[in-house]
């Protein structure tokens, strides 16, 4: 789950003076006892929750929903049903196969909820997180999964939106407020990724997708960013003779989890 809230790593910058936890093993869930009560009600789409950063990373959540008009940090944008039966066997809710299903379904559903395009989402601080029933709830027959959207405001901090995030990337003011910015250049030791609605000095300005396939290696992903990110930095500069630019590229671990793009940065 942690990877869901963390963006690309490994960086580089230049002046332009014209020069997750390991997945759980596959297990089989115990059959609920005959005396088990009814399963707890599934969560509802559109519900809001006041979660801490750590609570948003957890695989299950016991928090009760809060009115969306009150302070909150997450909004449920999709609820689905788990497929826990394979070849006639009931799988545990925390098995690798069941968790993989949710880890694919929730990110795939987020763009439809937020609107905008893929580049806008990747240049934002919106992140999907997901939850499944606890083992005790699963034993009672709960078979749902819940997808929430959160906004990573800064280091281990979530933003508190004041309205529903449905269609957020179609709204210029909201898209601008929650875009991805930095407190310093991406290769600076003091760099912290923040929303653009707070004080910042750099901005993520362009997404560079890589060709599908296996991770080509750190040198290859880094080298593919130099020219396009320099061009992006030039386009964003006030002075074409004196400008800076930077980039971030994915690690192999991030690539394997679906993050197959790099980011270009420029000072603002």
Give pLDDT tens digits for 46-72.
Answer: 999 999 999 999 999 999 999 999 999
CB atoms within 10 A of CB 79: 16
Distance CA 88, CA 44 (A): 29
| DSSP 8-state code for residue 43 | P
**Buried b / exposed e along 112-136 (16+ C-beta atoms within 10 A):** ebbbbeeebbbbbbbbbbbbbbbee
| Alpha carbon distance, N-terminus to C-terminus of the chain | 31
Half-sphere exposure of 115 (CA within 13 A, CB side): 11
Give pLDDT tens digits for 88-141.
Answer: 788 899 999 999 999 999 999 999 999 999 999 999 999 999 999 999 999 999
Helices and strands per DSSP (H, E), number in the chain: 8, 13
Task: Domain of residue 140: give its range.
Answer: 2-267
Q: Does residue 77 carry a pLDDT above 60? A: yes
Give pLDDT tens digits for 171-210.
Answer: 999 999 999 999 999 999 999 999 999 999 999 999 999 9
CA dihedral 50, 53, 54, 55 (to 10 degrees): 20
Distance CA 188, CA 38 (A): 54
CB atoms within 10 A of CB 268: 12
DSSP lists the bridge partners of residue 81 as 144
> What's the total number of domains in the chain?
1
78 Cα distance to chain centroid: 15
Asked if residues 197 and 177 have their Cβ atoms less than 8 Å apart, the reply is yes
Distance CA 141, CA 94 (A): 14
Q: What pLDDT sits at residue 88? A: 78
Give pLDDT tens digits for 241-267.
Answer: 899 999 999 999 999 989 999 999 999
**Higher-scoring residue by pLDDT: 67, 39:** 67
Task: Map tokens 């005959």 to a residue.
Answer: 34
Q: Does residue 12 carry a pLDDT above 80? A: no
Q: What percent of the chain has pLDDT over 70?
A: 86
DSSP lists the bridge partners of residue 204 as 265
DSSP alpha helix (H) spans, 128-239: 135-139, 172-177, 218-236
Confidence class for position 85, pLDDT limits 50, 70, 90: confident
DSSP lists the bridge partners of residue 208 as 262
Q: Does residue 215 carry a pLDDT above 80? A: yes
| DSSP 8-state code for residue 20 | -
3-state helix, strand, coil in the chain (%, to 5): 25, 25, 45
CB atoms within 10 A of CB 172: 8
Half-sphere exposure of 221 (CA within 13 A, CB side): 30
């Amino acid at each position: 789950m942690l990877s869901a809230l963390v963006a690309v790593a490994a960086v580089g910058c230049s002046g332009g003076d014209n020069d997750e936890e390991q997945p759980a093993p596959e297990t089989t869930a115990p059959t609920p006892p005959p005396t088990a009560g009814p399963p707890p009600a599934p969560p509802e789409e559109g519900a809001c929750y006041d979660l801490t950063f750590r609570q948003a990373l957890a695989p299950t959540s016991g928090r009760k929903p809060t009115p969306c008009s009150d302070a909150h940090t997450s909004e449920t944008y999709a609820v689905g049903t788990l497929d826990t039966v394979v070849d006639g066997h009931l799988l545990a809710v925390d098995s690798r196969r069941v968790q993989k299903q949710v880890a694919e379904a929730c990110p795939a559903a987020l763009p439809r909820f937020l609107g905008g395009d893929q580049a806008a989402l990747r240049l934002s601080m919106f992140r999907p997180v997901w939850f499944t029933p606890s083992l005790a709830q699963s034993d009672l027959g709960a078979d749902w999964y819940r997808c929430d959207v959160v906004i990573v405001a800064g280091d281990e901090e979530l933003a508190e939106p004041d309205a529903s995030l449905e269609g957020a990337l179609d709204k210029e003011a909201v898209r601008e407020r929650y875009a991805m910015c930095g407190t310093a250049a991406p290769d600076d030791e003091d760099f912290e990724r923040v929303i653009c609605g707070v004080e910042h000095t750099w901005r993520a300005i362009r997404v560079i997708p890589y060709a599908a396939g296996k991770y080509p290696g750190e040198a290859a992903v880094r080298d593919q960013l130099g020219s396009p990110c320099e061009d992006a930095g030039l386009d964003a500069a006030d002075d074409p003779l004196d400008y800076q630019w930077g980039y971030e590229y994915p690690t192999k671990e991030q690539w394997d989890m679906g993050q197959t793009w790099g980011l270009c940065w420029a000072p603002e």
